[in-house]
């Protein structure tokens, strides 16, 4: 997403600030002080900024879109919140091995062209024992559930219509089922995961096995 599409997305997702903050609170309570956190594909950076404001965490964002990196970096500067947003691909991350304690990725994984490579990169940049959390749309979501989600978000008429359109014609088609996700993880260096259905999405929890990493 670049240019006006990224700017439209930023505006419309601005309606979901309360849920970004609630999600950041949920994640923050399981992180140790000083944790190094990577958000993969943060887009406008709403979650990354909320998380950085909730504790002594060092938060980094990595996104393919130059427009989003500019928007998120400007938002960080405006808020006086030190989050570094970088341009880069989830499947070839510009980070050293074992740098992060926690990797987070939301509403983006279904768009990755090489999903197993992206999982392997998350595994590589995590410290042994580190965790990753991937939250994304589930492919068996109904349009009634999407309607309820959009209605509850408080979007205006045009944004609500356009949001529904993108779900119906693009996003649901790209989304994974629980079984498809588990199969991707099985192909990756993580090997296993825990998957929970959460509203319109899946919540996938992954851990980099400290014992296997030491043996490798």
Ligand X SMILES: C[S@@+](CC[C@H](N)C(=O)[O-])C[C@H]1O[C@@H](n2cnc3c(N)ncnc32)[C@H](O)[C@@H]1O
Q: What is the DSSP letter of 91?
A: T
Instruction: Provide, rounded to whole angstroms, the least separation between the CB of residue 9 and ligand X.
Output: 6
**By CB under 6 A, residue 43 contacts ligand X:** yes
Distance from C-alpha of 173 to C-alpha of 192, rounded to nearest angstrom: 25
Residue of 12, 36, 65, 133 that binds ligand X (CB under 6 A): 65
Q: Which tokens belong to 28?
A: 């923050």
Residue of 59, 107, 134, 185 that binds ligand X (CB under 6 A): 107
106 neighbors 79 (Cβ within 8 angstroms): no
Binding track, positions 70-99, relative to ligand X; x by CB under 6 A: -------------------xxx--------
**By CB under 6 A, residue 42 contacts ligand X:** yes
**By CB under 6 A, residue 108 contacts ligand X:** yes
Instruction: Provide, rounded to whole angstroms, the least separation between the CB of residue 90 and ligand X.
Output: 4
**By CB under 6 A, residue 36 contacts ligand X:** no
Contact residues for 3 (Cβ-Cβ < 8 A; gap 6+): 67
Q: Edge to edge, what strands does the sheet with 58-63 contain? A: 84-87, 58-63, 36-40, 100-106, 126-137, 201-207, 194-198
* Site for ligand X, rule CB under 6 A: 1, 13, 41-43, 63-65, 68, 89-91, 106-108, 111-112
């Amino acid at each position: 997403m670049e240019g006006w599409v990224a700017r439209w997305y930023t505006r419309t997702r601005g309606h979901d600030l309360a849920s970004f903050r609630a999600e950041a609170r949920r994640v923050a309570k399981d992180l140790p002080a000083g944790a190094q956190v990577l958000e993969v594909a943060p887009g406008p950076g709403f979650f990354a900024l909320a998380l950085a404001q909730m504790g002594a965490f060092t938060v980094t964002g990595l996104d393919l879109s130059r427009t989003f990196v500019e928007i998120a970096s400007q938002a960080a500067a405006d808020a006086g919140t030190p989050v570094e947003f970088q341009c880069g691909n989830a499947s070839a991350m510009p980070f050293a091995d074992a740098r992060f304690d926690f990797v987070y990725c939301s509403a983006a994984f279904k768009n990755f062209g090489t999903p197993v490579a992206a999982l392997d990169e998350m595994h590589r940049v995590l410290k042994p024992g580190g965790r990753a959390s991937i939250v994304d749309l589930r492919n068996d979501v109904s349009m009634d559930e999407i309607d309820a989600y959009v209605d509850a978000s408080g979007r205006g008429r045009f944004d609500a219509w356009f949001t529904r359109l993108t779900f119906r014609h693009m996003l649901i088609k790209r989304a994974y089922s629980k079984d498809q996700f588990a199969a991707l993880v099985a192909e990756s260096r993580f090997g296993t995961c825990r998957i929970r259905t959460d509203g319109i999405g899946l919540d996938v929890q992954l851990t980099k096995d400290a014992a296997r990493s030491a043996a490798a």
